[in-house]
Amino acid sequence: MPIVNLDSLSLWYQLTPGARPAAEPALLIQGLGMQATDWPAALVAGLAAERPVLVFDNRDSGLSQLFGRASVETLTMEDFPGAAPLCGPVAYGLSDMAADAWRLADALGLARVHLVGFSMGGMIAQVMAAMRPERTASLAGLMTSAGQPWIESAPEADAMMRRSILHEGKRGRLIDFMLAAEAVYAGPVPLPAEGTRRGAIRQALVRGHHPAGIWRQARAMRDAGERRGMLAGIAAPTLLLHGAEDPVIALSQAAEIKHILPGAAFIELARTGHILTEGNAGEIGARIGDFWRRATV
């Protein structure tokens, strides 16, 4: 099992050498509560045609180290953060999650990387780029925000995120909820057959499901606060790809990157919600590949 132990932290990771193993690698950072195995295989394969691809489980996700209990029965939907300031201390911050990824790169001897982050992972990637500009070859954010203190979500998506932190002791009900949440997040994006999706969710639950970890990660996101000034100082070539019908992070929030960082590329994906699938992986991978080739000329 590819686990790296970093003093007080252990992270699960997988490195795909790709077609050009000597090229600067891509470091992929996942979103809220998601696992490294949630990256579409077609996207990883497409990116690996350009350079090595490193994926990993964030702290409190998948097979990486937990920073508290996996599930807390007393959590309610109201405990999920929102626009209001947080109450009480956080277990860790977004900057800690960014430092985790740099420590992983250190452990694997990766001097410079191309950062690719989805949703919360895009926010982590932005902090990473600001933290270590000399090691950031480029920055690509997928369905992420542009440094606002909190995300603007459609009511249905907000409700699903709030439910995701709840303890659910019955596996069948949990799978039904995750199917429904996936459909809401996807928006108009076609999804695989329900049987295929149920099988994938069962595998993910066996590998690691930590609703209280989702809660701690969400609090880290909210605790990060206003970051638009930080984004304005990022020097690395930057790309944001965002779904035109994203119900989790408003399109207007992502599009603000055009004013915050005028040199950044912003691409709006038609008929796309807040999801990465085998179906849209080809277009997204091609967009990232084109961006990399322009960034490294």
Residues of the chain with pLDDT under 70: 1, 297
Predicted local confidence at residue 296, as pLDDT: 81
- Contact assessment for residue 125 and residue 54, using Cβ atoms and an 8 Å cutoff: no
Return phi, psi of residue 83, to 5°. -70, -25
Structurally, the chain folds into a number of domains equal to 1
Query: Using N-to-C axis directions, what is the helix angle for 94-107 and 211-224, rounded to 10°?
Result: 110
Predicted local confidence at residue 200, as pLDDT: 96
Q: What is the CATH number of the domain that holds 76?
A: 3.40.50.1820
Q: Which of 156, 162, 160, 95 is nearest to 130 (CA)?
A: 95
Angle at CA of residue 137, ends 150 and 105, nearest 5°: 80
Predicted local confidence at residue 1, as pLDDT: 61
Paired tokens of 165 = 């932190």
Query: Residue 169: CB partners within 8 Å, gap ≥ 6?
Result: none
Predicted local confidence at residue 8, as pLDDT: 87
Q: Which of 260, 236, 12 is nearest to 135 (CA)?
A: 236
Q: The domain containing residue 242 runs over which residues? A: 3-295
Cα 256 from chain centre: 19
